[in-house]
């Protein structure tokens, strides 16, 4: 599948199509069962041209299972709210991302936890998608701040209001799948900016973030390129430095 946005934004990396399936793609990158692993390196591999696949038994990060739509958070010692906050004396150090366990409980309760009725979540480079056979759920861009600015403007260009993009507090995998997937179920979904998770920031380039949209929203944005600011001199000034 070709994308005009790839050309107009001068993307260094491919947009990643997220598919749900009960069939495992051959030759895809995958974590090993029984080993801890993070979603983000495999997402970046997909942005670089590889196909990656996730399933319940090989998604080694407990939080990653929830972030990829494989059900609830597993049991943490003393509760996930302590892991996110102050930790448990003598057991583990908390992440300090939320001030106290009470707020940690509220955070977990507001997450759109789901258990998808599929065996596999697949990350695939957009250019390798055959739209006659595959229907992505989401498209995830891996972009620098100039490109993120353009995507944010374009997501609002053809829609009413000025809050068509959100930046939620979330883990990396929640920001590229769980929350955008929940938005995709809505009548008027928002794009989701992600990879702000401090835990995953060392895994990504310093100037890069993600921008996730439901597939239908992606198609609308593609159609909105013509006549938009992307053809104007102000954007060309920005694009010249990329």
Give me the pLDDT at residue 77, please.
66
Rg (CA), the chain: 18
Provide the 10 A C-beta neighbour count for residue 145.
10
Check residue 227 and give left, alpha or beta (phi > 0: left; psi -120 to 50: alpha).
Answer: left
The structure's pTM equals 0.94
pLDDT tens-place values along the chain, 242 residues long:
889 999 999 999 999 999 999 999 999 999 888 787 899 999 999 999 999 999 998 887 878 889 999 998 876 667 889 999 999 888 889 999 999 999 999 999 999 999 999 999 999 999 999 999 999 999 999 999 999 999 999 999 999 999 999 999 999 999 999 999 999 999 999 999 999 999 999 999 999 999 999 999 999 999 999 999 999 999 999 999 88
Q: What is the DSSP string of 154-179?
A: HHHHTSSSS-SEE-----HHIIIIIH
Contact 191, 152 (CB under 8 A): yes
Distance CA 27, CA 66 (A): 25
Q: Is the dihedral of CA 152, 167, 174, 72 positive or negative?
A: negative
Query: 3-class DSSP state for residue 20?
Result: strand
With a CB cutoff of 8 Å and minimum separation 6, the contacts of 26 are none
Per the listing, tokens 């944005």 go with: 221
């Amino acid at each position: 599948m070709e994308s005009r946005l790839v050309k107009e934004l001068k993307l260094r990396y491919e947009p990643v199509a997220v598919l749900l399936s009960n069939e495992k793609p051959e030759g895809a990158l995958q974590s090993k069962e029984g080993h801890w692993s993070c979603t983000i390196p495999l997402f970046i591999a997909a942005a670089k041209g590889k196909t990656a696949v996730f399933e319940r038994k090989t998604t080694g990060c407990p939080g990653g299972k929830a972030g990829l739509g494989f059900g609830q958070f597993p049991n943490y010692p003393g509760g996930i709210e302590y892991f996110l906050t102050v930790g448990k004396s003598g057991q583990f150090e908390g992440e300090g991302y939320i001030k106290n366990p009470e707020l940690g409980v509220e955070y977990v309760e507001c997450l759109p936890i789901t258990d998808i009725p599929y065996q596999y979540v697949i990350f695939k480079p957009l250019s390798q998608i055959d739209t006659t056979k595959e229907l992505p759920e989401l498209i995830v861009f891996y972009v620098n701040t100039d490109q993120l600015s353009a995507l944010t403007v374009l997501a609002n260009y053809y829609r009413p209001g000025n809050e068509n993009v959100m930046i939620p507090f979330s883990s990396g995998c929640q920001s590229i799948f769980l929350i955008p997937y929940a938005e995709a179920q809505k009548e008027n979904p928002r794009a989701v900016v992600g990879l702000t998770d401090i835990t995953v920031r060392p895994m990504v380039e310093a100037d890069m973030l993600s921008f996730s949209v439901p597939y239908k929203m992606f198609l609308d944005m593609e159609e909105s390129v013509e006549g938009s600011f992307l053809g104007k001199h102000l954007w060309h000034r920005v694009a010249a430095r990329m």
